[in-house]
Structure 1
Amino acid sequence: MRFAYLRMILRLRSRLDDARLALVMSIADLYFKPDRNEDEALLNELIERYPEEGEAMKELMPAWKRWGYEEGIELGMEKGVEKGMEKGMTIGMETAAINMLRKSMDPSLISEITGLSAEKVEALRRKMNGM
């Protein structure tokens, strides 16, 4: 039933503006209760039988747009957390290196322990002495 409904919507596509079409599709989502697995199977069937219509349907499905948006947000958050952790580790190593420099440890040993480059340790030493 949903398959026939979606094909009908595609035929209406040329007669309705984008806003009305989005409204009709949103109502369809409310009535049919979108399920990601079912929708993917349905889309695959549409693409297999009617390649042009299947791709057009992918653009029309509000639930699919929402899922794509949510996946994008989730991926962005994961990357943000990962970047934040990396930055935190770097700041932590720099802080440790500064503390070691204050204890007059050898810069090459500090570089070896922290994993910071010799140039970075030297830059931290200069910055610390400039304080």
Structure 2
Amino acid sequence: MKKIILRIILVAFLLMLGIIFFIIGKEHKVFIDNRDLTIAGKTYTAAVRYEVWVDGEKLGRTTLNPGKRNVIYLAGPRHKIVLQELESGKVVGKEIEKNFNLSLNQTQVIINIPALVAGSDLFLYQDK
């Protein structure tokens, strides 16, 4: 009887561990978009070039110019994006930081930089 209970506990533990690893390891395709966007009648205009860091890693090899889009693959539910405005190759203005969460059903999402800079909570959306 003790062996059966021990095996049941072991199987339950392994199932829980598998679920946790699935959630932590789930990969998301995230587009970082520096394009104009209209949400609920409000337009966010991309006019500035940014250097973008996601989870401490620089996005791509270049900066994100207005009208451009870049892609990054992120694993896990919690992330942090940091933006720095660039002018003539030099950092100007203050650093903009935002934490965001991705759910399991979001396999492909878009982060709109002008909306994020403007402080909109709708900067993260799922492509239809």
Bigger CA radius of gyration? 1
Q: Which has the higher strand share?
A: 2
In the superposition, the TM-score normalised over structure 2's length comes to 0.32
Structure with bigger helix share is: 1
> TM-score, with normalisation over the residues of structure 1?
0.31
Q: Greater RCO between the two (CA within 8 Å, min separation 6)?
A: 2
